[in-house]
Structure 1
Amino acid sequence: MASRLIQSGIIKICRSAVSPKVEAYGDEELRSRNFKDTLAIMQQYPALTREVAPWLRLDEVIPYVEANGVRLLGVVVTGPTKEILKLREEPWVAGIGVGEVRLWNWLN
């Protein structure tokens, strides 16, 4: 759904969508399609894309992704160390390493 907002005399195009729910690292084909769809939406709004990701060259990235596919290589997770280390027991986790550790007051 696209809509126009007038803000300070500037017309802004807003678009929102909801991707299908994918259970914990679900279907590879669905993840790939969602990623490619996101790139296509970004290509429709070049000014916004340049603002949030000036290094991203979609004219090069999209053909590369179409030719080579999408691969999920890793993630960065923050939170309590003990909770993060519990992820080792999950079948979808191939490996885990704890990098930086900081003391944090999770109650405040």
Structure 2
Amino acid sequence: MAEIVQGFCLETFPQGENVVNYGDQGDCCYIILKGVVSVQIPNTKIKDWKLKYHAASVDNEWKEDIDHRFEVAKLRLRDISPQEDNYLLNSSLRDKLNKYDVNAISEDSQ
């Protein structure tokens, strides 16, 4: 997982700010570590989901699924060119993300 985290870019958004608008071209994937996200899909019936994600409340089954997905992603990252690999080894980003230790998450930390 540490190798995957090296490629992450930590972003924070102020409360109420739009992160993505309907119709925008997708160019990244967001993992919500903490906070509330509201997703609205325009159609005849507006669907509104409010989801809370707290890193500390992840149960073991979900954590194992995440670990598996990171293993798959890690295998795919091996195809990255050396130039891209150097970009992914951004040590300041790695230091910022070290405080998020998924291995330390347990069922009783809710």
Q: Over alpha carbons, which structure has the higher Rg? A: 1
TM-score tier, shorter chain, comes to under 0.3
Which structure ranks higher in relative contact order (CA pairs < 8 Å, sequence separation ≥ 6)? 2
Using the size of structure 2 for normalisation, the TM-score is: 0.27
Using the size of structure 1 for normalisation, the TM-score is: 0.27
